[in-house]
Amino acid sequence: MTTHRYDVVVVGGGIAGLSAAVSAAGVGARVGLLDRASEAETGGNTRYTEAYLRMRSTDEPAEGFTDALVDDFMGHPDPGLTADAVLDRDRRSPLLRAHHVVDLDYVEAFADNAGPTLRWLESHGIAFAQLPTLFPTVSTTRLAPVGGGLALVETLGKRARDLGVDFHFETTARSLVVDPAGRVAGLHAADHSGAAVHFVGAVVLASGGYQGNPEMMARYHGDKALTCRPVARGGNYNKGEGIEMALALGAATAGNFALFHAEPVDPRSGDPEAAIMAFPYGVLVNEQGERFVDEARGPVDAWYERTTRDIQDQPHGIAWLVLDASASAVPTIRTAIRTVEPPVSGATVAQLAERIGVDAQALEGTVAAYNAACPEGEWDPTRPDGLATTGLTPPKCNWAKPIEVAPFEAYPVIAANVFTFGGLKVDATSRVVDRDGRTIAGLYAAGEMTGLYYSNYTGSTSVLRGATFGKIAGAHAASLVAAEG
């Protein structure tokens, strides 16, 4: 068996893994990075995303940043446990430290370190700007790296190589190695040929969730697993081994294993993030030609995930967005439709129904009822305008404008899995916590494989979180090794 010896072993080549590797190597640690992908496809989800960041500026998180994370519905935890959250961490009950709720110290560390992390990324050659988004209306401020996630992968990858990080592509971590003292001291892996490889060192797991593993998807999401797919090619590499390896050592969990971050996409397209965000300006109908959701509950960026889940609940997990020619008056309508596939069109609603395989009489009735419920008033597609239907179920709370101008268009929409919510519980230094509330020595985790979200994704925090806690994990792991001599 081939053995590679490092101070820190990082699993995963996305933003979390690269940040951990650069951070550890930057303070002198010997670092090895494993990625099951080839070098040409390294980077996981990060490679394919525009990487929006929930920031007001390079130094300041967006308004309400921590509240949005802490106020996420987490069920009804026992107040006898959560009361301990006001105590210093060491004084809290072990039950709370391992409990399946958000760690307030973690959220505070996230908010405190987000700005410094972006400045750190700037020091390595990443530029940030307030770039246009795909959302016609927004509820928060955002920055993005110039060049998107691909720029993060390429720039940090080069920096890691300059610092001496060894990359092991087409190499998959299989199991963790624990020494007699109970410390994680490395891992077993398989290389491109399937040969066993042993890596020695403290371990940072940054290999994403399990959206690329049909068995785990079915285990946690039931029959809904069949009607979604990873939002981009990189997600297919996320098979969940990192989570399973840590669970085998007794790791605690956080985040909701019953949900994933859902994005509405065109199922006909093989392009990454072929998003359809224009549904507030039309109606969504299922295969029966019926509306089933309020398409316009508020700004698209705040509501698209919940609307996407409603789409997934329909027969075969699919819906059609129906628009008329007047939708072209929305200034950003084509930006909000990312698919390169053309819409299905028809000169009449009945003809459109026939072409999308929906009963014509049903669709005509749905559109007629919707049109009759639309009010008079000033329609403003740039902000929630309060133009709501009356006497219609389900209602439409904004942008209720009749669909009556030919030609009519329709796009199919399904739920894509951006990343899974359930994952490992870590503390504010990214150390993995076990089910007894203790940190597991020598084991860190960062990015999408760590649980944080429960009922709704706090938009534009995933890449930011991966960078922030990847940096923290790498530095902490390196300092621990240095302290041990």
The tens digit of pLDDT for each residue in 447-461 reads: 999 999 999 999 999
CA dihedral 474, 426, 415, 288 (to 10 degrees): 180
In this prediction, residues 111-128 reach a mean pLDDT of: 98
By percentage, how much of the chain surpasses pLDDT 90? 94
Confidence bin at 210 (pLDDT 50/70/90): very high
Domain boundary among 396, 416, 436: 416
Task: Give the model confidence (pLDDT) of 298-314 as tens digits.
Answer: 999 999 999 999 999 99
In a shared domain, residues 295 and 319: yes
Q: Where is pLDDT greater, at 22 or 483?
A: 22
Task: Give the model confidence (pLDDT) of 307-342 as tens digits.
Answer: 999 999 999 999 999 999 999 989 989 899 999 999
Q: Which of 480, 483, 484 is nearest to 431 (CA)?
A: 480
Task: Give the model confidence (pLDDT) of 256-277 as tens digits.
Answer: 999 999 999 999 999 988 999 9
Cα separation, 113 vs 23, in Å, equals 14
pLDDT of amino acid 90:
87
Mean pLDDT of the chain: 96
Q: Which of 413, 29, 210 is nearest to 10 (CA)?
A: 29
In a shared domain, residues 253 and 120: yes
Task: Give the model confidence (pLDDT) of 342-372 as tens digits.
Answer: 999 999 999 999 999 999 999 999 999 999 9
pLDDT of amino acid 481:
78
Number of structural domains in the chain: 2
Q: Which of 299, 257, 295 is nearest to 411 (CA)?
A: 295
Confidence bin at 394 (pLDDT 50/70/90): very high
In a shared domain, residues 231 and 130: yes
Contact 278, 136 (CB under 8 A): yes
Task: Give the model confidence (pLDDT) of 177-206 as tens digits.
Answer: 999 999 999 999 999 999 999 999 999 999
- Tell me the CATH number at 282: 3.90.700.10
Q: Which of 419, 314, 410, 379 is nearest to 136 (CA)?
A: 379
| Number of Cα atoms under 13 Å in the Cβ half of residue 38 | 4
Confidence bin at 86 (pLDDT 50/70/90): confident
Task: Give the model confidence (pLDDT) of 401-422 as tens digits.
Answer: 999 999 999 999 999 999 999 9
Contact 44, 13 (CB under 8 A): yes
- Tell me the CATH number at 154: 3.50.50.60
The SS3 of residue 437 is coil
In a shared domain, residues 408 and 339: yes
Which helix (H) or strand (E) element contains residue 364? helix 360-373
In a shared domain, residues 138 and 162: yes
Domain boundary among 416, 443, 470: 416
In a shared domain, residues 458 and 351: no
In a shared domain, residues 329 and 399: yes
**251 burial via Cβ count (<10 Å: 0-12, 13-18, 19+):** buried
Confidence bin at 483 (pLDDT 50/70/90): confident
Contact 397, 210 (CB under 8 A): no
In a shared domain, residues 33 and 71: yes
In a shared domain, residues 426 and 343: no
Sequence-distant (6+) residues with CB within 8 A of 137 are: 280, 299, 300, 301, 381, 382, 383, 384
Supply the range of the domain harboring residue 27: 2-259+421-483
pLDDT of amino acid 485:
64
CA 288 to chain centre: 31
Cα separation, 283 vs 321, in Å, equals 6
pTM, 2 dp: 0.96
Domain boundary among 416, 439, 473: 416
Q: Which of 19, 36, 11, 12 is nearest to 163 (CA)?
A: 19
In a shared domain, residues 400 and 435: no
Cα separation, 185 vs 415, in Å, equals 39
In a shared domain, residues 466 and 392: no
Task: Give the model confidence (pLDDT) of 155-179 as tens digits.
Answer: 999 999 999 999 999 999 999 999 9
Backbone angles phi, psi at 408, to 5 degrees: -100, 145
In a shared domain, residues 440 and 350: no
Per mean pLDDT, which range of 16-20, 91-95, 306-310, 431-435 is the poorest? 91-95
